[in-house]
Amino acid sequence: MTQATPSRPDARRRRWRDLRRALTLTWELTKRDVLARYRGSFGGTSWSLIQPLLMLAIYTIVFTQIIPARWPGASTTIDFAMLLFSGLLMHSVMVETIVRAPTLITSTPNFVKRIVFPLDLLPVAAVGTSLFHYLLGVIALCLVLYLVKGSVPGTVVLLPLVVGPMLLMALGFAWFLAGIGVFVRDVVHVVGLAGTVLLFLAPIVYPLQAVPESWRAWLYLNPLTVPVEEGRAVTILGVAPDWRALALYTVVAAVVALAGYLWFRRVRPQFADLV
């Protein structure tokens, strides 16, 4: 505490320090979040890898053997499985985040009432956890790609440009849902449903081309459509993403994130009385 008003470099340094602190804390929280899930289980963190692979297997069987789906450009079952998997990975980042978001605050009353804690980092850590699981999935995907095709497209380095905006979008939703989840406990049930809606109303288990022309535009209202399409383009098809769509999506995601954050900050003072 100083008597004089802090000089500008001082303020900047403090802001820089606060930011670094927030980042470190987010890192620590994410680490704990990831580890906590499987702590005490025999499989440990390997469950994070087993789960998506198992999902991949099930969806492949269902959509090739039971309900055969046609996909232009996918001649073999394994091709189809990979197209499906890359979309599913995107979907699980979003859904994993929003399903957990409404209970993030209510399930940690101690963080709200008993210690001084930057609660706005909890949704960030939740996104971080989803990202971790996504990365494991991408590694699995690249591994399979390499084994089947002998190479991984170079455009895969553009993947962060696709995933980044989606994380921002997910974060915006997470802040919003975490905030409203304290007031309206029903949100938990709604987001579970939303997860299914997001899955089937995005070109994940079917190609965008399979959707009738007149409906296609509506599909873009799904926050997953752009990331799923562009993610598939850079990881599997090996083509450049649709830059315009991506740029527009990034702007929307930034707006959503900002709105979510402002909302969270606004309702936060009420938490202690309600949790």
List contacts with other proteins (CB under 8 A): 1-3, 21, 24-25, 28-29, 32, 35-36, 39-40, 110-117, 180, 182-185, 266-267, 269-270, 272-274
Question: Helices 187-200 and 159-183 meet at what angle, rounded to 10?
Answer: 150
CB of 109 to other proteins, least distance (A): 9
Q: What is the nearest approach in angstroms of other proteins to the Cβ of residue 17?
A: 9
CA distances from 86 to 118, 144, 151 (A): 34, 12, 16
For 218, residues 6+ apart whose C-beta sits below 8 A from its C-beta are none
Structure tokens at 11: 């303020």
Q: Which is nearer to other proteins, 99 or 112 (CB)?
A: 112
| Tokens found for residue 113 | 């009432």
At its nearest, how many Å lie between other proteins and the CB of residue 217?
Answer: 33
State the nearest-atom distance from the C-beta of 121 to other proteins, in Å.
Answer: 10
* Residue nearer to other proteins on the CB measure, 156 or 275: 275
Angle 37-40-42 (CA atoms, 0-180°, nearest 5)? 100
The answer to whether 187 and 114 have CB atoms below 8 angstroms apart is no
Closer residue to other proteins (CB): 59 or 175: 175
Joined tokens for residue 57: 């297997």
Cβ-contact 38, 47 below 8 angstroms: yes
Q: What is the torsional sign of CA 32, 186, 262, 260? A: positive
Name the minimum Å distance from CB 265 to other proteins. Answer: 10
> Do 240 and 155 form a contact (C-beta atoms < 8 A)?
yes
Q: Specify the residue, 38 or 220, whose C-beta has the smaller distance to other proteins.
A: 38
Nearer to other proteins, 157 or 274 (CB): 274
> CA 188, 104, 224: angle at the middle one, nearest 5?
65
Nearer Cβ to other proteins, position 180 or 228? 180
State in angstroms the smallest separation of the CB of 115 from other proteins.
Answer: 5
